[in-house]
Amino acid sequence: MTRLQWSAIAVCVLLNVLDGFDVLVMSFTAAAVSAEWALSGSQLGLLLSAGLVGMALGSLFLAPLADRIGRRALILVCLVIASAGMLLSAAAQDAVQLGLLRVLTGVGIGGILASSNVLAAEYANARWRGLAVSLNSTGYAVGATVGGIVAVALQSSSGWRSVFAFGGVATALLIGAVLWRLPESLDFLLTQRSPRALDRLNTVLAAMRLPALDALPEPEPAERKPKPRLAQILSPAQRRNTLLIWAGFFAVMFGFYFVTSWTPKLLVEAGMSAGQGITGGVLLNLGGIFGTTLLGLLAARFPLQRVLLGYTLATALLLACFVTLTSQFALVLALGTLIGLFVNGCVAGLYALTPSLYPVEVRATGVGWGIGVGRMGAIVSPLVAGWLLDAGWTPGRLFLLVAAVLVAGGLAVHAFRLTTREHA
């Protein structure tokens, strides 16, 4: 692993910090926004979901363009979209404007995530691929944790709009980081054969201390017009893995967003104080920073598929025990940290594993659709939890339900048929 490879992965980590910050920026500013515009609970709920809806749309419909125009090029376009959405959100005049701008911001970030995870996987060698993509996913937990601290500090002095302005400026600065240290995908340059592809490819190879190429490899002769990329990931050869990865992403993100969104409130429902509930929620994000790193280290020694299955089962077991122990505050905090460690690792593991399931021509499409279906699980999760709470479910029963969903996701992961890419 050369300096260029590690710096490319570092930029991808910073891009994922945007995800953590953007998902929670609305949560951290919700009280102030609601007070300014006198919003009802349902109106506020729509604002909280708007960013996730945008991310799903970006992952499903924007991310596949990376297989045509390049991973790096799409990231730059999406950074412009996301920074504009953030900056304009700071000037929103009512809830409708803010909601639409949250969708726009989410579209940009959804497009970034698929490409950044693909690039992190492609620039890592076989030994460090799991760690590279896991570190990439650690950016979410870092963004969520640092974003909370920044939001509290800025709101107390400058109001909620300053939090969105900060996010917009930080996102715009990442455009420079991408131009400086994030090269285009080697696999993309080899397969797309643009006029300057050979020069760009040799520039990257030189930085990686690899020999230059005299010419691009000859493409395999095409017998017929290729199918649309979505049709390719649903072709008989890919359909089984595609449906399993969709099931895995849906289940894991259903559980992840339930845990991160509802744990503080459900701890209060179970008898803890409001302060204790917030402390439990913070520890979930802190645990996530260590969980994704640990997953990457384990993946360097053991098959990632088995590590990910173990993470999902461990998360399910911890969730089943969590709410029953609310009378013992210290133990709940310890379990909360462990849940954050494992549930964040589940998401990181899926990001790391998914690129190995698809050939380069449809890799961004496969990853983008997997993340997009996962975002649907993220959107559904808080709605289902709220409906079941209104129907009289206890926090303990809700956590057991989510544990069962995660077990199903783990079984889907276990059924993947990996290609040789993971061992390349």
Range of the domain at 254: 229-424
| Same domain for 143 and 272 | no
220 within some domain: no
Total domains in the fold of the chain? 2
| Same domain for 249 and 167 | no
Cβ neighbours around 328 below 10 Å, total: 11
The pLDDT, as a whole number, for residue 82 is: 95
Residues whose CB is less than 8 angstroms from the CB of residue 329 and which lie 6 or more positions away in sequence, other chains included: 272, 276
Give me the half-sphere count of Cα atoms (radius 13 Å) on the Cβ side of residue 341.
15
Q: Are 39 and 47 in contact (CB under 8 A)?
A: yes
Render pLDDT for 258-283 as a digit per residue (tens, 0 to 9). Answer: 887 666 666 666 676 655 665 666 67
Render pLDDT for 334-345 as a digit per residue (tens, 0 to 9). Answer: 888 888 889 888
For the segment 8-12, the average pLDDT, to the nearest whole number, is 92
- In sign, the C-alpha dihedral spanning 383, 384, 389, 390 is positive
Query: 150, 183, 216 — which closes off a domain?
Result: 183
197 within some domain: no
The pLDDT, as a whole number, for residue 215 is: 80
For the segment 286-303, the average pLDDT, to the nearest whole number, is 81
CA proximity to 15, closest of 122, 117, 101: 117
Q: Is the full-model pTM beyond 0.75? A: no
**CATH number of the domain residue 270 falls in:** 1.20.1250.20
45 within some domain: yes
Predicted confidence band of residue 225 (pLDDT cuts 50, 70, 90): very low
Rounded-to-integer distance, Cα 383 and Cα 235, Å: 33
| Same domain for 295 and 157 | no
| Same domain for 368 and 312 | yes
Give me the half-sphere count of Cα atoms (radius 13 Å) on the Cβ side of residue 248.
31
For the segment 375-391, the average pLDDT, to the nearest whole number, is 80
pLDDT above 80: residue 134: no
Q: Are 131 and 124 in contact (CB under 8 A)?
A: yes
| Same domain for 408 and 262 | yes
Measured at the CA of 78, the angle between CA 168 and CA 89, to 5 degrees, comes to 35
pLDDT above 70: residue 326: no
Rounded-to-integer distance, Cα 391 and Cα 381, Å: 15
Query: 126, 159, 183 — which closes off a domain?
Result: 183
Round the average pLDDT of the chain to a whole number and report it. Answer: 83
| Same domain for 381 and 234 | yes
The pLDDT, as a whole number, for residue 173 is: 94
| Same domain for 274 and 406 | yes
For the segment 397-401, the average pLDDT, to the nearest whole number, is 88
Rounded-to-integer distance, Cα 188 and Cα 9, Å: 17
| Same domain for 115 and 25 | yes
293 within some domain: yes
Q: Are 33 and 47 in contact (CB under 8 A)?
A: yes
Reduced 3-state DSSP string for the chain: CCHHHHHHHHHHHHHHHHHHHHHHHHHHHHHHHHHHHCCCHHHHHHHHHHHHHHHHHHHHHHHHHHHHHCHHHHHHHHHHHHHHHHHHHCCCCCHHHHHHHHHHHHHHHHHHHHHHHHHHHHHCCCCCHHHHHHHHHHHHHHHHHHHHHHHHHHHHHHCCHHHHHHHHHHHHHHHHHHHHHCCCCHHHHHHHCCCCHHHHHHHHHHHCCCCCCCCCCCCCCCCCCCCCHHHHHCCCCCHHHHHHHHHHHHHHHHHHHHHHHHHHHHHHHCCCCHHHHHHHHHHHHHHHHHHHHHHHHHHCCCCHHHHHHHHHHHHHHHHHHHHHHCCCHHHHHHHHHHHHHHHHHHHHHHHHHHHHHCCHHHHHHHHHHHHHHHHHHHHHHHHHHHHHHHCCCCHHHHHHHHHHHHHHHHHHHHCCCCCHHHHC
- Tokens, residue 342: 């494992």
pLDDT above 60: residue 423: no
CA proximity to 284, closest of 347, 350, 333: 333
203 within some domain: no
Query: 160, 183, 206 — which closes off a domain?
Result: 183
Structure-token match 């013992």, residue found: 328
208 within some domain: no
Rounded-to-integer distance, Cα 412 and Cα 270, Å: 32
284 within some domain: yes
- Tokens, residue 120: 């992190």
| Same domain for 247 and 153 | no
| Same domain for 58 and 178 | yes
248 within some domain: yes
The pLDDT, as a whole number, for residue 136 is: 76
| Same domain for 259 and 119 | no
Distance, CA of 48 to chain centre: 17
| Same domain for 312 and 177 | no
The pLDDT, as a whole number, for residue 223 is: 45
Render pLDDT for 41-80 as a digit per residue (tens, 0 to 9). Answer: 668 777 877 888 898 899 888 888 988 888 999 999 999 9
CA proximity to 367, closest of 307, 289, 301, 421: 421
Predicted confidence band of residue 95 (pLDDT cuts 50, 70, 90): very high
